[in-house]
Structure 1
Amino acid sequence: MTSPASELITLDADGVLTLPVSTADNGTALDHDLILAGTRALLEVTRGVREAGAILLTGTGKNFCAGGNVARFAAADDRGEYLRGLADDLHYFIKVLYQTRVPVVAAVSGWAAGAGMSLVLHADIAIGGTGTRLRPAYPGIGLSPDGGMSWALPRTVGAARARHIIMTDQILDAQRALDLGILAEVVDDADVASTAQATAATLAAGPRGSFAAVRDLVHASAGRTLTDQMDAESASIAGLSVTSEGVEGVDAFLAKRAPDFRGVR
């Protein structure tokens, strides 16, 4: 039976799988049901049940995601057990997000706080608006990060700067987030959703094997030596050169035409 959360998840004709992470309910807090439904959809991608060429993370309210639902934290009979369950479910969502090997775009309208900021950090391309704001938020309620923030933020801005941002609970405006490399592009607030959608559609139409390899190489690079990374690059580029997309890309270049990656899948 389809759940209400599942009905908000869409896969369009371009191959863009849209996964909302919050709604206008509860002040655009992270929606647990959406995270569970999103995980199920991502697992279908990894199993080949859904064929997605790009994933779009978004919110359906005025904010991308204002963080966890603190009121529910406080109301839980056992806060520790409740928060552990929420964190584990969010972390499984993120693990499967990486396992899809599909490019991830985030449409970051309004606030991305707490777990919302964590999710932005896992996007390959995060599009923000001039009014976008990001904030760790955890120290403000006496908690520590989840959602992989303590892993992703140091890899984006450096360990010292990550500690500073999280411990002082900095509010990062759009320009600061762009300068730090957290946001890839900043557009007018009214254009965030359409720009992110167009970016995801462009990726979905592109060379999916190439994008999957780029994600794999970049994500693995932090744990490899230069020699090991170059060995991985050699194996990857050689393998892609004999795929249908690799052949099409080279042939199109030589013929001075635009490659048709969609047509050779």
Structure 2
Amino acid sequence: MSVTVRVDAAGVAHVEMCREKAGNAIDLAMATALLEAAGSCARTDGVRAVLLTGRGRSFCVGGDLREFAPLSGDRLAAHLTAVTDALHGALRVFAGLDAPLVAAVQGAVAGAGLGLAAAADLTLAASDATFVAAYTGIGYSPDAGVSWSLPRLVGPKRALDLLLTNRRITAPEAAEMGLVSRVVATDRLAGAAAETAAALARGATGALGATRRLVATGLSAGLDGHLDAEARHLADAAVSDEGREGVAAFLAKREPDWARRRARAGFVTEFK
């Protein structure tokens, strides 16, 4: 079992990487399982937030070098292509959801683990977490979107500092740079992350999805085009069920009822 998905009654999909004895290192099986898990979140009716975690002492130490090391030449290139195709496919699916993605990270966050942490909309880091790019230290270049996400989060100069020198940074440093949203005590990480995901699941999922896409595209879009996109999304939101419910609740001075659909309580899927 590489990855499990459990959708709770509030609509939070709990996606957990389960190779704790290997530091949740990503081998082909786990990359494929992450893609299947992301697809499960996309297909499951009522998923309103996704919480990504890694079981054990570390969130994810990156690629599984023990799997890669025996391979060479075309076999190695084909294997790495298969791993990255699956992992990048998972990132694309998560990015396309309306449901926001929350990551809770602890211990070692390295390589592709850094990419998963950076891909989340909100990343909570335990106070014991450390972050390192690691790629060039073994003669590799980045994957998992690291060369795309890291400059956007911390700026190109800081991104190159981390990517070229493989300097390991602490959770407070990562928060100061903008790599993580906030730092919490290690024994509070699970609870704080669950509370954050649950709060997002209680929100207006359509509006949250539009907002996360606007922020993502706004980093590269021109101002005129982005203003037009904002206007289109706002008009769509206003005429949606969520938009009408939000305005009605505001005028009636009550809490809005966003959750029109609920996920199945106790729904669990395991991916080998």
TM more than 0.5 = yes
Q: 1:81: how far off?
A: 2.2
Structure 1 distance, partners of 2:130, 2:170, is: 5
Q: 1:218: how far off?
A: 0.8
AA aligned to 1:23 is R
The match for 1:150 is 147
2:190 pairs with 1:193: yes
Q: 1:248: how far off?
A: 1.5
2:21 pairs with 1:25: yes
The match for 1:76 is 71
Pick from 41, 47, 56: which aligns with 1:52?
47
Structure 1 distance, partners of 2:143, 2:37, is: 22
Which 4+ runs in 1 deviate beyond 6 A? none
Equivalent residue runs for 1:97-112 within 5 Å? 97-112=94-109
Pick from 62, 70, 77: which aligns with 1:67?
62
Aligned residues: 260
Structure 2 distance, partners of 1:183, 1:86, is: 25
Is the contact between residue 46 and residue 261 of structure 2 (CA under 8 Å) also seen in structure 1? no
Gaps of 5+ in 2: 263-272
Q: 1:129: how far off?
A: 1.2
Structure 1 distance, partners of 2:30, 2:196, is: 23
Q: 1:185: how far off?
A: 1.2
Structure 1 distance, partners of 2:154, 2:229, is: 25
Is the contact between residue 103 and residue 203 of structure 1 (CA under 8 Å) also seen in structure 2? yes
Structure 2 distance, partners of 1:197, 1:34, is: 23
Is the contact between residue 22 and residue 64 of structure 1 (CA under 8 Å) also seen in structure 2? no
The match for 2:137 is 140
Q: Which structure would you say has the larger RCO, counting Cα contacts within 8 Å and 6 or more residues apart?
A: 2
Q: Assess, with a 3 A threshold, how the Cα gap between structure 1 residues 35 and 14 changes in structure 2: closer, same or farther.
A: farther
AA aligned to 1:67 is G
2:90 pairs with 1:93: yes
The match for 2:269 is none
| Percent of paired sites with the same residue | 37
Structure 2 distance, partners of 1:232, 1:27, is: 41
Pick from 229, 234, 255: which aligns with 1:258?
255
Pick from 139, 142, 156: which aligns with 1:159?
156
Is the contact between residue 130 and residue 171 of structure 2 (CA under 8 Å) also seen in structure 1? yes
Secondary structure of residue in 2 paired with 1:75: coil
Pick from 17, 28, 35: which aligns with 2:31?
35
Structure 1 distance, partners of 2:194, 2:117, is: 15
Secondary structure of residue in 1 paired with 2:57: coil
Secondary structure of residue in 2 paired with 1:260: coil
Let me know the Cα RMSD of the aligned residues. Answer: 1.8
Structure 2 distance, partners of 1:45, 1:28, is: 20
Gaps of 5+ in 1: none
Structure 2 distance, partners of 1:253, 1:160, is: 44
AA aligned to 1:221 is G
Structure 2 distance, partners of 1:45, 1:107, is: 18
The match for 2:181 is 184
